[in-house]
Amino acid sequence: RIGNIDSRGALVVLEGLDRCGKTSQCSRLLSYLEGLGHSVELWRFPDRTTSVGQMISAYLSNESHLDDHTIHLLFSANRWEKRSMMEAKLKAGTTLIVDRYSYSGVAFSSAKGIDIEWCKAPEIGLLAPDSVLYLDIPPEKAAERGGYGGERYEHLEFQRKVAQCYQMLRDSSWKIIDACQSIEDVEKQLKEIVLDQVTACKKGKPLSLLWS
């Protein structure tokens, strides 16, 4: 499929606590849009394949220890290093389904007690998503699902704080999806929202920047 100047892809971000079901929903959305013949890619942050991403990965698996501000800036740098590629893909007409973005960056760092405005600052100028889909689940429910790996942040006490920080970040443009529903029900809601966004972007909805 050839992109053209009038039709760009949509930037769709899924956010939520660990174990909210984001990652499986991202793959379902990918297959759905591919099936409809759209040009679409699945991205995720942190992108652990870059050298910054490897530092982040080592930190998350407790192989390294970094100051809270330092790791925050690395997560942000990891988005900045992908920014130009992101813009190019969108302008070429490819829709990006993104598993976590700046909101994770701010929620997880401010949950440690870092000032929220300080956390937002390095994200200014990154591309703003066309749609933020928040998979809403009480931290206790997410913990019951099991499967927390051994990574940093993956425990109930901290996830409760992250949930509060996400609350502070939310604005009226976010789509809040009840992630306690069945996988199929969540999927159905997401598909509708995403297809609307893809259509709006094809019709020429302009790209904007964070935080807007």
Task: Please report where in the chains the tokens 């964070």 appear, as a residue.
Answer: 210
CB of 18 to ligand NYM, least distance (A): 5
Cα(62)–Cα(196) distance, integer angstroms: 41
Q: Which of 18, 130, 136, 187 binds ligand NYM (CB under 6 A)?
A: 18
Smallest Cα–Cα separation from 13: which of 111, 112, 127?
127
Does 108 contact ligand NYM by CB under 6 A? yes
- Please tell me whether the peptide bond between 138 and the residue prior to it is cis, using omega within 30 degrees of 0: no
Tell me the per-residue interface mask from 76 to 105 with ligand NYM, x by CB under 6 A, - otherwise. Answer: ------------------------x---xx
Q: What are phi and psi of 131, to 5 degrees?
A: -150, 130
Amino acid letter at 177?
A: I
Q: What angle do CA 104, 101, 67 make, to 5 degrees?
A: 50
Q: Which of 9, 16, 21, 46 binds ligand NYM (CB under 6 A)?
A: 46
CB of 58 to ligand NYM, least distance (A): 12
CB of 181 to ligand NYM, least distance (A): 21
Does 143 contact ligand NYM by CB under 6 A? no
Q: Report the SS3 class of residue 110.
A: helix
Nearer to ligand NYM, 56 or 198 (CB): 56
Cα(25)–Cα(173) distance, integer angstroms: 20
Nearer to ligand NYM, 45 or 134 (CB): 45
Residues of this chain that interact with ligand NYM (CB under 6 A) are: 18, 45-46, 60, 75, 100, 104-105, 108, 153
